[in-house]
Amino acid sequence: METLGVGLIGTGFMGKCHALAWTMVRPVFAEQPVPRLIHLAEVSADLAARRAAEFGFARSSGDWRALLSDPEVEVVSVTAPNALHPEMAIAALEAGKHVWCEKPMATGLADAERMRDAARASGRVAILGYNYVQNPAVRHMGNLLTAGAIGTVNHVRVEMDEDFMADPDAPFHWKSEASSGYGALDDFAVHPLSLLSVMVGLPERVITLQAKPYADRPLPGGGRRPVETWDIASALLEFAGGVSGVLAVNRSAWGRKGRIAIQIFGSGGTIAYDQERMNETQLFTLDGDAADRGFRTILSAPVHQPYDRFVPAPGHGLGFNDLKAIECHELLSRIAGRPARIIDFETGLEIERVVHAMARSHEERRWVDVPSVA
Ligand SMILES: NC(=O)c1ccc[n+]([C@@H]2O[C@H](COP(=O)([O-])OP(=O)(O)OC[C@H]3O[C@@H](n4cnc5c(N)ncnc54)[C@H](O)[C@@H]3O)[C@@H](O)[C@H]2O)c1
């Protein structure tokens, strides 16, 4: 039986998602090799040992470099905070491992370029954790667009909102440190941009405003620390062919829990979707009598592959962790040399270029062209 040795760096929110995906992928996708959970790394040997026991990894370490020296590890999940992605992903590629790195790619464009270059030089597969593109509903939206269901696309509006930073007294988090990046731009905007990249392409020009709802946050030991990142960003987007767009992201949006809303407007209809109702696609077309027209809800079902691999019945719904299992399946397909729906380090870098252009636009208070990727 074919197998693949897995290493996991980081065991927080995303680390657990990757561990679950590695555990689920083979029962769901029988054509894939059996992942062998070999080595897990965390900030301390104690925490690593505890998580290895919980997640079912054979070995653990308080030093992620020890994981990369483990010859049985063939693919590495990088789920540590943003600032560590370049060093970890590049070292893993140089050690001959395939890489599944969480988004954003890096906090600086030069680092993202180095990651892309390392992936090219290694000949290994390197992908980013843009799980939302894996939703069968999102794939179906892409199929509807390709089939011309809403005519010619002329405008898009994308949003991502959550409220985990809405409380002004929520404790200071690594996501409020400048070392984590810009804030909502590279934490959130990259997700709707990943969706645009697979459906209508990425913008060529942007103008952006970032905002900081709270100046400081409490520290666990007392006192407050200034917030160094922007939790809100709004942008106007210009695409090739005269398509226009709006992007709005907010990490301090009370009441929004996991909203990634996308609306695509065309000459003959509209497609709309929200990740908070991730098994539903809204479609408006000009079919039938004008008096009877309205949005219809397409509920995800086995016909929207690979939903069928999880559940044989329509309407039962997939969840967030299922998207991660699909992403893992696509990674394994690419490693095996088969066509795969992935955001690799090449496309990832294009997304980074948009985000950095947005940040520059904010700084310079003007429209900025997104540089093309060399
Ligand atoms: N794809 C998604 O939908 C999604 C969702 C949330 C977060 N993320 C991304 O995942 C990454 C992690 O975010 P999170 O929410 O899981 O954070 P988290 O704080 O919950 O987890 C990070 C983990 O990394 C560990 N870590 C830190 N430094 C380390 C080191 N030197 N060696 C080994 N482990 C180390 C921490 O101890 C912690 O367990 C971020 O880049 C974030 O942007 C992606």
Report the residue among 46, 47, 61, 102 best suited for mutation to probe ligand 1: largest number of ligand atoms under 8 A from its CB: 102
DSSP state of 187: I
Task: Write phi, then psi, for 10 (nearest 5 degrees).
Answer: 95, 140
13 CA: nearest ligand 1 atom: 16
With tokens 């370029």, the residue in question is 113
Handedness of CA 62, 63, 67, 69 (dihedral sign): negative
* pLDDT, tens digit (0-9, with 9 covering 90-100), for 212-249: 999 999 998 999 999 999 999 999 999 999 999 999 99
User: Rounded to whole angstroms, how far apart are CA atoms 181 and 190?
Assistant: 12
Rounded distance from Cα 301 to ligand 1 centre (Å): 32
Residues 6+ apart with CB under 8 A from 31: none
Geometric angle at alpha carbon 250, from 244 and 251, rounded to 5°? 150
The band of 372, judged by pLDDT with boundaries at 50, 70 and 90, is: confident
**SS3 state of residue 261:** strand
* Atom 30 (ligand 1) nearest CA: 43
The structure tokens 């925490």 sit at 47
User: Token pair for residue 29?
Assistant: 């996708």
Other CB atoms within 10 A of residue 151 CB: 15
Q: Which residue has the higher pLDDT, 347 or 373?
A: 347
- Among protein residues, the one with the nearest Cα to ligand 1's atom 20 is 12
Which of 9, 11, 13 most suits a substitution to test ligand 1, by most atoms within 8 Å of the C-beta?
13
CA distances from 146 to 50, 54, 153, 308, 354 (A): 48, 44, 10, 22, 24
User: Distance, CA 208 to ligand 1 centroid (Å)?
Assistant: 27
The Cα–Cα gap between 81 and 62 comes to 16
284-306 in b/e form (b: 16+ CB < 10 A) is bbeeeeeeeeeeeebebbbebeb
Element (H, E) at 249: strand 244-250
| pLDDT confidence band for 86 (50 / 70 / 90) | very high
Confidence band of 374 (pLDDT split at 50, 70, 90) = confident
Q: Give the distance (Å) from ligand 1 centre to CA of residue 103.
A: 10
Nearest ligand 1 atom to alpha carbon 15: 16
Ligand 1 atom 6, closest CA:
14
Tell me the C-alpha distance between 321 and 15, whole Å: 12
Strand-pairing partners, residue 77, are: 8, 100
- Please write the tens of the pLDDT for every residue from 157-197: 999 999 999 999 999 998 999 999 999 999 999 999 999 99
276 Cα to the center of ligand 1, angstroms: 22
C-alpha torsion angle, residues 13, 357, 109, 184 (rounded to 10): -20
Residue of 8, 43, 105, 328 with the most ligand 1 atoms within 8 Å of its CB, for mutation: 43
Identify the band that residue 373 occupies on the pLDDT scale cut at 50, 70 and 90.
confident
Nearest CA to ligand 1 atom 27: 80
Cα distance between residue 187 and residue 175, in whole Å: 8
Q: Give nearest CA residue, ligand 1 atom 18.
A: 12
- The pLDDT of residue 183 is 97
Name every protein residue with a CB atom under 6 angstroms from any ligand 1 atom. Answer: 9-15, 41-43, 64, 79-82, 84, 102-103, 129, 131, 187
Q: What is the pLDDT of residue 234?
A: 98
Q: Which residue has the tokens 């179906």?
A: 140
Q: Do the bridges between strand 269-274 and strand 280-285 make them parallel or antiparallel, or are there none, so unpaired?
A: antiparallel
Question: Do residues 75 and 101 touch, judged by C-beta distance below 8 A?
Answer: no
CA 18, 21, 23, 29 dihedral sign is negative
Structure tokens at 365: 């208070």
- CA 238 – CA 11 distance, rounded (Å): 38
Q: What is the dihedral of CA 108, 111, 112, 113, to 10 degrees?
A: 120
Q: Which helix (H) or strand (E) holds 30?
A: none
Q: Of 14, 43, 343, which is best to mutate to test ligand 1, by the most ligand atoms within 8 angstroms of its C-beta?
A: 14
Per-residue pLDDT tens digits for 281-339:
999 999 999 999 999 999 999 999 999 999 999 999 999 999 999 999 999 999 999 99
In the beta sheet, which residues pair with residue 297? 282
**Tens digit of pLDDT for each residue in 51-72?**
999 999 999 999 999 999 999 9
The pLDDT assigned to 1 comes to: 72
The CA-CA-CA angle for residues 58, 105, 76, to 5°, reads 15
Query: Which pair of structure tokens corresponds to residue 5?
Result: 């040795």
What amino acid is encoded at 124 in this protein?
R
